[in-house]
Protein backbone atom coordinates (compact mmCIF):
# COMPACT_ATOMS: atom_id res chain seq x y z
CA UNK A 1 0.00 0.00 0.00
CA UNK A 2 1.06 3.60 -0.38
CA UNK A 3 3.91 4.96 -2.51
CA UNK A 4 5.36 1.58 -3.48
CA UNK A 5 2.08 0.30 -4.90
CA UNK A 6 1.34 3.68 -6.49
CA UNK A 7 4.72 3.61 -8.22
CA UNK A 8 4.20 0.08 -9.50
CA UNK A 9 0.71 0.97 -10.71
CA UNK A 10 2.04 3.94 -12.66
CA UNK A 11 4.87 1.91 -14.18
CA UNK A 12 2.52 -0.90 -15.21
CA UNK A 13 -0.04 1.49 -16.67
CA UNK A 14 2.69 3.19 -18.71
CA UNK A 15 3.96 -0.18 -19.95
CA UNK A 16 0.50 -1.34 -20.97
CA UNK A 17 -0.28 2.07 -22.44
CA UNK A 18 2.73 1.83 -24.71
CA UNK A 19 1.69 -1.64 -25.85
CA UNK A 20 4.02 -3.75 -23.72
CA UNK A 21 2.23 -6.90 -22.63
CA UNK A 22 5.19 -9.18 -21.92
CA UNK A 23 6.50 -8.02 -18.58
CA UNK A 24 9.26 -9.27 -16.28
CA UNK A 25 9.00 -8.01 -12.71
CA UNK A 26 12.07 -8.38 -10.49
CA UNK A 27 10.98 -8.56 -6.84
CA UNK A 28 14.41 -9.09 -5.29
CA UNK A 29 14.24 -5.77 -3.43
CA UNK A 30 10.64 -6.25 -2.28
CA UNK A 31 10.61 -7.28 1.37
CA UNK A 32 6.84 -7.71 1.71
CA UNK A 33 3.81 -7.86 -0.60
CA UNK A 34 0.50 -6.84 0.94
CA UNK A 35 -3.02 -7.38 -0.36
CA UNK A 36 -3.03 -4.11 -2.31
CA UNK A 37 0.16 -5.16 -4.10
CA UNK A 38 -1.30 -8.58 -4.83
CA UNK A 39 -4.48 -6.98 -6.14
CA UNK A 40 -2.43 -4.83 -8.47
CA UNK A 41 -0.36 -7.77 -9.71
CA UNK A 42 -3.34 -9.98 -10.51
CA UNK A 43 -5.26 -7.12 -12.14
CA UNK A 44 -2.38 -6.36 -14.48
CA UNK A 45 -1.76 -10.08 -15.00
CA UNK A 46 -5.33 -10.37 -16.25
CA UNK A 47 -4.86 -7.32 -18.50
CA UNK A 48 -1.67 -8.64 -20.07
CA UNK A 49 -3.10 -12.12 -20.59
CA UNK A 50 -6.16 -10.68 -22.29
CA UNK A 51 -3.76 -9.08 -24.78
CA UNK A 52 -1.74 -12.24 -25.33
CA UNK A 53 1.01 -11.35 -22.87
CA UNK A 54 2.02 -12.30 -19.36
CA UNK A 55 3.77 -11.08 -16.20
CA UNK A 56 6.70 -13.16 -14.96
CA UNK A 57 8.12 -12.74 -11.48
CA UNK A 58 11.83 -12.90 -10.71
CA UNK A 59 13.41 -13.61 -7.31
CA UNK A 60 10.47 -13.05 -4.99
CA UNK A 61 11.69 -13.66 -1.42
CA UNK A 62 10.27 -16.47 0.71
CA UNK A 63 7.80 -14.16 2.41
CA UNK A 64 6.42 -12.88 -0.89
CA UNK A 65 6.03 -16.47 -2.12
CA UNK A 66 4.32 -17.42 1.15
CA UNK A 67 1.91 -14.50 0.86
CA UNK A 68 1.04 -15.23 -2.76
CA UNK A 69 0.46 -18.87 -1.80
CA UNK A 70 -1.72 -17.97 1.20
CA UNK A 71 -4.20 -16.08 -0.98
CA UNK A 72 -4.17 -18.72 -3.70
CA UNK A 73 -2.57 -16.77 -6.54
CA UNK A 74 0.98 -18.17 -6.53
CA UNK A 75 0.26 -20.61 -9.33
CA UNK A 76 -1.12 -17.85 -11.56
CA UNK A 77 2.46 -16.63 -12.03
CA UNK A 78 5.60 -18.12 -13.55
CA UNK A 79 8.54 -17.52 -11.23
CA UNK A 80 12.21 -17.34 -12.21
CA UNK A 81 15.55 -16.95 -10.47
CA UNK A 82 17.08 -14.88 -13.25
CA UNK A 83 15.90 -11.90 -15.32
CA UNK A 84 17.42 -13.18 -18.55
CA UNK A 85 15.81 -16.59 -18.24
CA UNK A 86 12.46 -14.92 -17.58
CA UNK A 87 12.85 -12.74 -20.67
CA UNK A 88 13.92 -15.70 -22.81
CA UNK A 89 10.83 -17.61 -21.68
CA UNK A 90 8.72 -15.24 -23.78
CA UNK A 91 10.52 -16.29 -26.96
Partner 1 sequence: MSAESSSAPENNALSELLDLSMPANSEAIATVVDTISETLTHLEVPEQKRFEVALAVQEALANAVVHGCGNDPSKQVRCRLKSDPHGRIVIIVTDPGPGFSPDLLADPKQRENLYADHGRGVYLIRQLMDEVHFEHSGNEIRMWKY
Residues that bind partner 1 (CB under 8 A): 1-3, 32, 34-36, 38-40, 42-43, 45-46, 63, 67, 70-73, 76
Given a contact cutoff of 8 angstroms between Cβ atoms, the answer to whether 64 and 86 are in contact is: no
Q: How far is the CB of 39 from partner 1 (least distance, A)?
A: 4
Toward partner 1, which CB reaches closer, 36 or 59? 36
Alpha helices in 1-82 (DSSP H): 3-17, 35-50, 62-70
Residue among 24 and 45 whose Cβ is closer to partner 1 = 45
In angstroms, give the least distance from the CB of 1 to partner 1. 5
Interstrand relation of 78-80 and 54-58 (parallel, antiparallel or unpaired): parallel
Give Cβ neighbours of residue 81 (< 8 Å, ≥ 6 apart): 58, 59
Supply the minimum distance, in Å, between the C-beta of residue 85 and partner 1.
26
Amino acid sequence: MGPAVDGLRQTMEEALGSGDTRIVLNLAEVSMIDSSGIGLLVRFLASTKQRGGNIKLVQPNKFAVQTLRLVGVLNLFEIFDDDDVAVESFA
